[in-house]
Amino acid sequence: MAKKDERISRDSHIKDSVLQELKENPYRKFNIIFALVTVIPFLAFFYVLTSIASFRVLAGQRGVILFICLLISLCGLGIGYITVGNILKRLFIYAARLKRSDQLKSTLLASVAHDLKNPITVIKTNLSTMSEGLSGGLNDTQRRIVDICMNVTDRAARIVSDLLDAHKIEAGMMDARREQCNISKLLEAQITEFGSIISKKGIRLVKELLDTDLMIWADGDKITRVINNLLSNAIKNTPNGQDLTLRAYPVEHFVRFEVVDKGPGIPHDKLEKIFDKFERLDTTKEGTGLGLSITKDIVELHKGRIWAESSPGSGSTFVVVLPRDLRRMMRARKV
């Protein structure tokens, strides 16, 4: 009995928290809609009763039949109301439990990621010290081993960073420190950062930057993260020796930039799913499946849009459209 009471109390608490988040009560809407739907037959019946010529309908056997029909209708409405209400209640509680479970998983992942962050930083610092020879000279074999360990550590640090960012976004803790920044310069900086990888794969980078002064009111670090994720994915998916195109140009009050690769492409039914958490087209490649999800959240934080255009075998195009200045757009709406 105590366990049952505890479960009811827990479900009630979860339901209240979800109601608080929804900022509305779905039960109230259901009651209003049900009342509006059921009032129509009752109004029709009332019209029949108040009609002078229809009082004869209530006499004799017809009146009994009409009364039985009305009774059956009322019972049906009552049973229907209770049944649908119970179904909605169970669905609501089930959705609330799923949400609570998802929140607990997210919190656990964030806690584990946070606990791993400091040890990884310590390992990375010590490996860097060894690589620079500050703790003594290294032979070629030892240096290769240290470099491999540094690469693995960097990958682990990126995974931890992705998990923490995903938790911040889900918890509504990610904010944007907006300032005037130049999209063209951010793109060029990322191209330089990936220069060695692009050169190693023999990729020919085609830049179509139609305006070298594409200013945008945004969080430069977060937009850099967007460019980094899209460019990194494109480089991974572009075969050696193929072209990779980067475009950026103004469109009225917006800036649009595209990353076009010559990779295997994306199936049509996956074009939207690839932006979901932990969604990965190729599970053989490294990654958490959070990169594009975080990218989408950052773009939407800036009131922009992102989507993919592709078909299998013809490469992929990732398009990002961002408002150049939200402040001006807001002022225009007020006018």
Query: Which pLDDT does position 54 carry in this prediction?
Result: 54
Residue 331 has pLDDT above 70, yes or no: no
Give the residue, 94 or 269, on which the prediction is more confident: 269
Nearest-angstrom CA–CA distance, 151 and 138:
17
| Band of residue 321 on the pLDDT scale cut at 50, 70, 90 | very high
Report yes or no: 231 and 289 within 8 Å, Cβ to Cβ.
no
Backbone φ and ψ for 304, nearest 5 degrees, come out as: -110, -175
DSSP assignment of 196-233, as one string? HHHHHHT-EEEEEES-TT-EEEE-HHHHHHHHHHHHHH
Query: Which pLDDT does position 335 carry in this prediction?
Result: 44
| Band of residue 165 on the pLDDT scale cut at 50, 70, 90 | confident
Nearest-angstrom CA–CA distance, 21 and 9:
19
Give the residue, 61 or 290, on which the prediction is more confident: 290
Mean pLDDT score of the chain: 76
> For 169-220, how does the pLDDT look when each residue is reduced to its tens digit (9 = 90+)?
766 667 778 888 888 889 888 888 888 888 889 999 888 876 677 888 888 8
Report yes or no: 167 and 109 within 8 Å, Cβ to Cβ.
yes
Residue 15 has pLDDT above 60, yes or no: no
Closest by CA position to 153, among listed 128, 124, 174, 192:
124
> Taking residues 100-125, what's their average pLDDT?
74
DSSP assignment of 117-131, as one string? HHHHHHHHHHHHHHH
Backbone φ and ψ for 255, nearest 5 degrees, come out as: -115, 130
Nearest-angstrom CA–CA distance, 211 and 206:
15
